[in-house]
Each structure stands twice: as C-alpha cells, then as structure tokens.
A = this chain, B = another copy of it.
Amino acid sequence: MPKTISVQALQRLPTYLNYLKSLPLDKDAKISARALGNALGYGEIQVRKDLSAVSDGGKPKVGYCTAELIRDIEIFLGYDDVNDAVLVGAGKLGKALMSYEGFKTYGLNIVAAFDSDLAKCGTDESGKQVFPIDKMENLCKRLKVRIGIITVPASSAQQVCDILVEGGVEAIWNFAPTHLSVPEEVVLKNENMAASLAILSKHLSEKDWNCP
C-alpha cells in the first residue's frame, strides 16, 4: 500500500529530486536532512517529514544515501511509469509544451495534439502529430490516453475538457485561465498564470502605495 503524503509535501518532492540530481555523482554519497533543508530553504524537521513518506533510508548521524533517495523519490512519483498524454490547443504555449524534452524525465509522454484550426494540423516542428479536434475522443479511447493537457482559450476549455473525459482521460492539466468542472474520479490541476501574475502585480502596486 502506498504511504500517504500531503499535497504540499508531494509538490516539494520534485524540488528535492532536482537538487539531489544536481549533486556530483557518487554512489556512496550521503546527505543529511539538515544539509538538504539548508540548500532548499526548508526546515530540517519538514525535510524529515516529507521524506519519511518516500524513503526508509535516513539514518541518524549518517543521513540518506543520495543515490537511494533519488531512486526512492522517482519510484514514489511514478517517473518510471510513463503516462501517455494528449495536448489540446496547438498555439504558442501548446507548441512549447509539445517540444519540451524535460517531460520525459517526469514520465509524461505527449503522444499527439489536437486543434480546431485545420491550418495547425499536420506534423508539428517537434515531430508530433496535430489532429483535428473531432478525432480526439476516439483517438484518446483507442490509445488509452490517461492525461489531457488543455492549452486552448478559456472560452472553449470546458468543452474540450468534457470531450477528454468522454475519451477516458483520468487527469486534466489545465492551462486555460478558467474554472473547469470534472467528475469526481478525474483529477484536475490548474496552471493558472493569471493567478500568479495577480500576486506579483498586487505586490508592486502596494509598494507604490506605500512609497509614493
């Protein structure tokens, strides 16, 4: 049975992994929770707690074996199990995601893309096929695609999402700046850049207010 973990801890795991992989390769290297915390700006206790869900490897006064910890986190995050994904909306952002090599490291494989604009259909510069959107439901079912990435404008995002769910997709990664409704068994993760920008611009306008 997989151990339970908080969403916050889960989201920190790739940061641990990324840092551990940036260290010099040495199969006997060890790292302590304190050293990890210092490098990443987390408290030592938090590091111990985060990693306890993933690894049994931390030993008092010795720390974690770096190579084992990397392996444990990768297994926990399912990076070994490649999940097939489709992307909908082959605009600028969609194309950037399609050609992003890094996703393979995370076990994400974009097998095809879809667009309502026939002019965008064909083979993309990333080498991936862009199909007309009316092929989507069938192709998702046939290829047993599990993840749908939405990079269409907000106005058509819910419609696209519904088709993906009909096609059997179990996880939606939404880049459109809008709320989406999905059935309970489908997981939805919003990547809302407008929300992030709101944080930044509010901070700047408050600074202006305080120091005119």
Chain A interface (Cβ within 8 Å of chain B)?
A: 1-2, 5, 7, 10-15, 18-19, 22, 39-42, 76-79, 81, 83, 92-93, 95-96, 99-100, 103, 106-108, 146-147, 154-155, 170-171, 173, 177-179, 181, 187, 189, 191-209
Q: Is the CB of A173 within 8 A of B196?
A: yes
> Which chain B residues lie closer than 8 Å to A2 at the CB level?
205-206, 209
A155: chain B residues at CB < 8 Å are 22
User: Are A96's CB and B106's CB within 8 A?
Assistant: no
Whether A14 touches B171, Cβ cut-off 8 Å, given contacts A19-B178, A178-B19, A204-B146, is no
Contacts of A147 in B (CB 8 A): 200, 204
Chain B residues near A12 (CB-CB < 8 A): 195
B200 touches A187 (CB 8 A): yes
A41 surroundings in chain B (CB, below 8 A)? 179, 181
Contacts A1-B209, A41-B179, A191-B193; A108 near B201 (Cβ below 8 A): yes
